[in-house]
Amino acid sequence: MAATPAPGTSKGAHSDVTGRRKKGPGALATAYLVIYNVVMTAGWLVIAVGLVRAYLARGSYHGLYYSIEKPLKFFQTGAVLEVTTCARSWTDASLCVFCLVSVSLQVQSEDSVLLFVTAWTVTEIIRYSFYTFSLLNHLPYLIKWARYTFFFVLYPMGVTGELLTIYAALPHAQKTGLYSVTLPNKYNFSFDYHSFLIIVMVSYIPLFPQLYFHMVRQRKKVLGHTEDYSKVE
């Protein structure tokens, strides 16, 4: 779970802020968080390894998604447990995007899916290791640097992949009336999934820059502090 439909790792961005405000958890909570983050890191590594092996076996990108579909879905669902970590923000529309899109079978062989899955995988491995090491108070500078530098490429990559995937899913959604409800019905409610997807795509326009520049500012704060020490009062 990382990329949000809005932009790349909004969850990551939000959790920085909430993580900072949060005071140290107790021993039991820490143990739980460490185990959770280790498991998530391992899971994403499994997915990454799976991707590489499948590519080497097939020799092409086509159908690569199917090779990691099960573990990916498992970890996406497990990441709902993110909510229990309490240090993360509630916004995880990336889970929504993923679920919505993954049901659209025709989309699954699209290169765009691979694009954002790759971006997420790398992001998540770094992010979960970052949290794990932070909790154990032994954070290697390399991980911190990677977390706040790789996003320059991974965010746009993930967002592009997501947008292309949603765009590819549009005709199918419209044709089949997927997830849509029409009037009349006794709840006096309607929902057009096709229009909803278009709104989601449009929402990336304001949201992605906000999150991207938030990460840029976070980067300055987190990695740039060595410059501050040279400023003398």
Partner 1 sequence: MPLHWRPPVEILDAKTKDKLCFLDKVEPNATIGEIKSMFHKNHPQWYPARQSIRLDPKGKSLKDEDVLQHLPVGTTATFYFRDLGSQISWVTVFLTEYTGPLVIYLMFYFRVPFIYAPKYDFTTSKHWVVHLACMCHSFHYMKRLLETLFVHRFSHGTMPLRNIFKNCTYYWGFAAWMAYYINHPLYTPPIYGEQQIRLALILFLFCQIGNFSIHIALRNLRPPGSKTRKIPYPTKNPFTWIFLLVSCPNYTYELGSWLGFTLMTQCLPVAFFTLVGFIQMTVWAKGKHRSYLKEFRDYPPLRSPILPFIL
Residues designated catalytic: 155, 162
Name the segment binding partner 1 (CB under 8 A); options: 97-105, 148-156, 186-194, 224-232: 186-194
Spatial contact of 92 and 1, defined as CB atoms under 8 Å apart: yes
188 scored as a contact of partner 1 (CB under 8 A): yes
Name the segment binding partner 1 (CB under 8 A); options: 54-62, 163-171, 187-195, 221-229: 187-195
Spatial contact of 161 and 137, defined as CB atoms under 8 Å apart: no
175 scored as a contact of partner 1 (CB under 8 A): no
Closest CA to 221 of 154, 153, 148, 152: 148
CA distances 80 to 70, 90, 120, 187, 199, Å, are: 16, 10, 16, 29, 24
Minimum CB distance to partner 1 smaller for 176 or for 190: 190
- The nearest distance, CB 168 to partner 1, in angstroms, is 29
Minimum CB distance to partner 1 smaller for 227 or for 233: 233
195 scored as a contact of partner 1 (CB under 8 A): no
199 scored as a contact of partner 1 (CB under 8 A): no
Q: Give one word for 18, left, alpha or beta, with left for phi > 0 and alpha for psi -120 to 50.
A: alpha
CA distances 84 to 79, 122, 159, Å, are: 10, 23, 26
187 scored as a contact of partner 1 (CB under 8 A): yes
184 scored as a contact of partner 1 (CB under 8 A): yes
Closest CA to 111 of 158, 72, 146, 62: 62
Name the segment binding partner 1 (CB under 8 A); options: 22-30, 111-119, 168-176, 184-192: 184-192
228 scored as a contact of partner 1 (CB under 8 A): no
Which chain residues interact with partner 1 by CB under 8 A? 183-190
